[in-house]
Structures are given as structure tokens and as C-alpha cells.
Amino acid sequence: MPAPGPEVLADFEAAKGFMPRGEGLALYAAATEAAALGLPLLEVGTYCGRSTILLADAARRAGVTAITVDHHRGSEEQQPGWEYHDPETVDPEIGRMDTLPTFRRTLHKAGLEDHVIAVVGRSPQVAKAWCGALGLVFIDGGHTDEHATADYEGWAPHVAEGGLLVIHDVFPDPVDIMTGQAPYRVYLRALESGAFEETAVADSLRVLRRTAPGI
């Protein structure tokens, strides 16, 4: 399985974020495979750039571009009072989350700024303006049904034939309602559509390949 070099892996593990090492390695392998199509790799849900490092390195090696989309105001479970809130990400001037500065520092430290296009905006709006095919779409944005479904409906149609759809935080157990039930339902929808088949599983990460048109 393709793996990042030790420096890239160290940058990944040092970056602020929630993706465990095992899932990161699975994402990197999927990104490396998808990059061979010669198409961009797109991530929905940048946060502070932990997973972006892996996509960017895979893109760099293949001579393609990594694109990451986020409004940088944090998803539901990252807001004040919730389990995944990090006070360091709050802009003291306006009192709202702003992960963009941390993300930019993450990419700079990893030496990957030239291999990433960062799009600041809400995923459904950006998807409506997007026209090209993608080698990989990694869905790791909001965890409500509204947001997970919008990410899937907006971006899955752009996955090229043979390209990969990767979904994070897929938890079948209802006890994980705040972190994984909506992504789980999106994952089931993708399989039931007949357009995707599962190729890899790593804890809560699911990798699916497009085998037919549709969503």
C-alpha cells in the first residue's frame, strides 16, 4: 500500500485535527491511486489541514492538484460547548471560529502550499459552481443529515469513472449520532445507488469506486 514519507507523516501527526494515523494511511493510499487518473483530488471539510497534508503530498507526487473546501467556521460539534470545540480556533476579535489561519500555517510548515487550492465557502455553493471531473472526492464536512447529504449530492456527481469517493466518520452504531450516523446513511446511499462499490475500509473511513453513472 502506498505510504507517505516519514516527514509527511510527521507533519500529519503534528497537525491539529481528528483523523487517526490508520485512517490517514488509508486515505493516502486512496489518494495515490486516484491521482493516477490525472485529475484533481478534492476534500470537503478542511478544518486545520491535517488530512489535506496527505492529499497534497499524493497530488504533488502525481503532478495533479489537491483542492480543499471549507467555510472555516467549524461544523456543529466543533462549536462552543460541544465535545470537539477547540478554543484556540476562535477569532478573538469576532468571537467565532476561524480555522483558516491555522490551516495556512499547517500547509506552510509542511511545504505544501503550492500543491493545494483552498476554497473558502460553503460546500453546496462551491459544488454548484464546479464543472470538472475529479479523481477523488473526500467527504469529511458537517455531520448532520442536511450537510452530509448536500456534500454527497453536490460532489459525488463529479467523481470520474474509476475515481474514488471516500467518506469519513462512518459509524453504523446509533450511539455515534453526533459523529457518524449521517455519513453512514450517505455511505449506504452510495452503495445502494449502484454507482459505487466499496474497495477499502479502515475504521470509520470507507473507500468506494465509481463503476457506473449516477448517485
Other beta carbons less than 10 A from residue 188's beta carbon: 12
Helices (H) and strands (E) in the chain, counts: 7, 9
Pick the closest to residue 35 from 57, 20, 9, 19 (CA basis). 57
Whole-angstrom Cα distance, residue 10 to residue 173?
Answer: 32
Q: Residue 176 carries which DSSP code? A: G
In our burial notation (b when 16+ CB lie closer than 10 A, e otherwise), range 17-26 reads bbbeeebbbb
Whole-angstrom Cα distance, residue 156 to residue 200?
Answer: 18
Give first-to-last CA distance, the chain, whole Å: 28
Displacement of CA 21 from its chain's centroid (Å): 15
Whole-angstrom Cα distance, residue 40 to residue 63?
Answer: 9
The strand pair at 159-167 and 205-210 is best described as antiparallel
Q: Which of 71, 72, 143, 158 is catalytic?
A: 143
Output the nine-digit C-alpha cell for 91: 477569532
In the annotation, is 143 catalytic? yes
CB 176 within 8 A of CB 83: no
By annotation, the residues acting in catalysis are 143
